[in-house]
A and B are shown apart, each in its own frame.
Chain A
C-alpha cells in the first residue's frame, strides 16, 4: 500500500519539501469549504480515533457547540505513554507538518481559535522538532492571523508534559494544561460542553489528526475504501518484542496479525513459536499464539478475539517468554502511574503488583490466582477514568488465557501452599 502518514520522502519534515509534495493543499481546500462541510467529510470518511478508544472522529467534532460565547479549544493528544506505543513520535520526527495541517483543518471545522498539542515531557527532542515545524508554518501563513487570506485565525502551542502516563487520559490532559496535577475529571460534563477552563474542548490523538488532510485532499469516499469499512484508513502499527524487525509500519487497517508479524516485522528470531501477543499496547488483553489465525488489526476483529486495537502497539512474545514476569512488570507500571484519586485503582494496582511479585518469585499460593481476579474485577468499572480498567484487563486476560502459567508458579513454590506475608 502507498504510505500516506509516513511516506518515504527524505526531509519531509522541512516545510519546502512538504509543500513540494502537496503539503497544505488540504488546508487551502478546507478553508474554501464551510466548517460544517469539513466535519461532514471527516464524519463520512469513517475515521476512528487512533488513541485507543476508536471513537468516530467526525462524530466527536459534532459534539462541539456551533455557537459559543466562550472560546473553543482543540487539544491534540501526543502524550503517547502506553507501553508498546511509539507511533506519534514518528509523526513528530518525519511528518510534523501533516500534524500541523490536520490541526488547523480540525480547528477550522470546529471554530477553534487555540490549539494545544500536548507532548509527553520525555519527548523533549521531538517537542523541538514539532516547534520548528509550527514556527515555519506560522512564517508561511498556515497558522496564525488570517490564514491564507481566509479571514480565519487560529494559534497552535505545544504544551510539554512532565512524565505522567495518566495525562494521556483526556480530562487529565486538560487539568495538566491548566497547570495542575493530572487528575482525571468525572464525566459528564463532557469536554465538548465543559473542557479547558470550562470552555468547549475537543481532544484528538496525534495520529487521528494526521489523517484529516488525507480525507480533505482525497475525499471521504476514497478514504473509506482503505482497509476495513467499519474502521477504515491507514494505521500506524508499532511492532516490538520478539521480532526480527521491530518498528512502526504503516498499513491499511484489517491486516492479519500474523502477516504483520511475519511480513512486516520479519518474523520471530530463531524461528521460535509465538507464545502470546499483546495487540494494542499494554492495557489491551493478551492473546495466545495459537489463537492468532484469522485475527486482524481492526476494531471488530480484535474485539471478536477478546481484545482490542488500542494504540496498535503490537508486542510479540516467543515461546520462551516468562509471562508471569511480563504481567508483573505491566502491573508495576499501572501501580506507578495510578494518580491516586480513586481507591480501587490506587490500592488495587499495588495489591496486584505485590501478589504478582510473589508468583514471580515462585511463591504464589493456590488461592492467589482467584484473589488476583477478584481484585482486578473490583477495579474494573469502579474508577473515574479508564486507567483502572487498563490495569485490570491485562491481569484478567492473562489469568483467563494462561492460567497454567500461574499454576506452575504455585507448584514450583518452595513453600508450597504456606502463607507468605505480602
Chain B
C-alpha cells in the first residue's frame, strides 16, 4: 500500500524507534499524504505492517484531529477561530468563506472540491486572522485576499 520511497524511509525510521508501534504516527502520515485520507483498509494494513491491533490504529486515527478517516474536498480550507484570531475578525472570514463556497463550517461541497473546517489555534496569533490550506498558511487575511486565494485554488 505504501510507495517504494516511503517503504525505504520507513526502514530508516526503524533504526531510530525501538518499537514497531512507535511507527504508527509516521506511517499514518505517509498513508494520508499518499491517499488523502486513511481508510479502514489502510488502518488494517498499518496494523499488520507494524504488528499492532487494528483497534489501536483506529484509536490513534480517531484521536488526532489531523488524521482523516474519510475523504474530504480537493481543497481543505481550515479557519482558526480561537481567541487571538477571533479578536482580529475571524468571524468575518468564516462568514465570507461560507457565503463564497456555499457550505458551512464542517461541510464538504457536493462536487468534493471544497471542505471548510473550523480549527483550533494554529500558532498564527501574531498574523491573525488566518486560514490554512494544506500545509500553507495564509495570514493577516482580508476578505479581498480570501477572494484572490479562492480564485487561485479554483484554477488548480
The one of B23, B67, B128 in contact with A179, judged by C-beta atoms closer than 8 angstroms, is: B23
Asked if B76 is at the interface of the complex by the 8 Å CB criterion, the answer is no
Interface residues of B in 51-86 (CB under 8 A from A): 52, 56, 59-60, 63-67, 81-84, 86
Asked if B142 is at the interface of the complex by the 8 Å CB criterion, the answer is no
Tell whether, in the assembled complex, residue A81 and residue B84 are in contact, meaning their CB atoms are under 8 Å apart: no
Size category of the binding interface on chain B: 35 or more
Tell whether, in the assembled complex, residue B86 and residue A329 are in contact, meaning their CB atoms are under 8 Å apart: yes
Asked if B136 is at the interface of the complex by the 8 Å CB criterion, the answer is yes
Tell whether, in the assembled complex, residue A160 and residue B25 are in contact, meaning their CB atoms are under 8 Å apart: yes
A43 smallest CB distance to B (angstroms): 30
The one of B59, B66, B84 in contact with A163, judged by C-beta atoms closer than 8 angstroms, is: B66
- CA A89 to CA B127, docked complex, whole Å: 12
A47 smallest CB distance to B (angstroms): 23
Interface residues of A in 154-207 (CB under 8 A from B): 155, 157, 159-165, 176-182, 197
B106-114, B115-123, B144-152: which lies at the interface: B115-123
The one of B13, B21, B64, B83 in contact with A164, judged by C-beta atoms closer than 8 angstroms, is: B64
A417 smallest CB distance to B (angstroms): 29
Tell whether, in the assembled complex, residue A121 and residue B125 are in contact, meaning their CB atoms are under 8 Å apart: no
Interface residues of A in 306-335 (CB under 8 A from B): 313, 315, 317, 321, 325-326, 329-330, 333
Contacts of A321 in B (CB 8 A): 87
Q: What total of A-B pairs shows CB separation below 8 Å?
A: 144
Interface residues of B in 76-106 (CB under 8 A from A): 81-84, 86-88
Asked if B124 is at the interface of the complex by the 8 Å CB criterion, the answer is yes
The one of A80, A86, A282, A336 in contact with B83, judged by C-beta atoms closer than 8 angstroms, is: A282
> Considering only CB atoms, which chain A residue lies closest to B90 in the complex?
A329
Asked if A85 is at the interface of the complex by the 8 Å CB criterion, the answer is yes
The one of B21, B50, B64 in contact with A162, judged by C-beta atoms closer than 8 angstroms, is: B64
Asked if B29 is at the interface of the complex by the 8 Å CB criterion, the answer is yes
**Contact of A178 with B86 at beta-carbon distance under 8 Å, contacts A162-B67, A238-B126, A246-B128 already known:** no
Contacts of A176 in B (CB 8 A): 25
Tell whether, in the assembled complex, residue A81 and residue B29 are in contact, meaning their CB atoms are under 8 Å apart: no
How many interface residues does A have (CB within 8 Å)? Answer: 56
The one of B21, B24, B25, B125 in contact with A83, judged by C-beta atoms closer than 8 angstroms, is: B125
Interface residues of B in 9-67 (CB under 8 A from A): 13, 16, 18-19, 21-26, 28-29, 50, 52, 56, 59-60, 63-67
B35 smallest CB distance to A (angstroms): 15
Asked if B4 is at the interface of the complex by the 8 Å CB criterion, the answer is no
The one of A120, A180, A278 in contact with B123, judged by C-beta atoms closer than 8 angstroms, is: A120
Asked if B132 is at the interface of the complex by the 8 Å CB criterion, the answer is yes
Asked if A35 is at the interface of the complex by the 8 Å CB criterion, the answer is no
Per-residue interface assignment for chain B, residues 128 to 140, with 1 indicating a CB less than 8 Å from any chain A CB and 0 otherwise: 1000100111000
A280 smallest CB distance to B (angstroms): 13
B135 smallest CB distance to A (angstroms): 4
Tell whether, in the assembled complex, residue B123 and residue A80 are in contact, meaning their CB atoms are under 8 Å apart: yes
Tell whether, in the assembled complex, residue B87 and residue A85 are in contact, meaning their CB atoms are under 8 Å apart: no
> Considering only CB atoms, which chain B residue lies closest to A334 in the complex?
B120
Tell whether, in the assembled complex, residue A333 and residue B52 are in contact, meaning their CB atoms are under 8 Å apart: no
**Contact of A122 with B84 at beta-carbon distance under 8 Å, contacts A157-B16, A162-B66 already known:** no
Per-residue interface assignment for chain A, residues 140 to 161, with 1 indicating a CB less than 8 Å from any chain B CB and 0 otherwise: 0000000000000001010111
Tell whether, in the assembled complex, residue A179 and residue B52 are in contact, meaning their CB atoms are under 8 Å apart: yes
- CA A238 to CA B82, docked complex, whole Å: 15
Contacts of B65 in A (CB 8 A): 162-164
Contacts of B137 in A (CB 8 A): 125
Of B28, B50, B121, most A-chain CB atoms within 10 Å = B121
Tell whether, in the assembled complex, residue B125 and residue A240 are in contact, meaning their CB atoms are under 8 Å apart: yes
Contacts of B18 in A (CB 8 A): 71, 197
Return 17 A-B CB contacts under 8 Å, by A number: A114-B16, A123-B123, A161-B25, A179-B23, A179-B52, A181-B64, A240-B88, A241-B125, A242-B87, A246-B84, A246-B88, A278-B83, A282-B121, A321-B87, A326-B86, A330-B83, A336-B120
Q: Which 9 A-B pairs have the closest CB atoms?
A: A163-B65, A163-B66, A162-B64, A240-B125, A179-B24, A124-B135, A240-B84, A83-B121, A179-B21
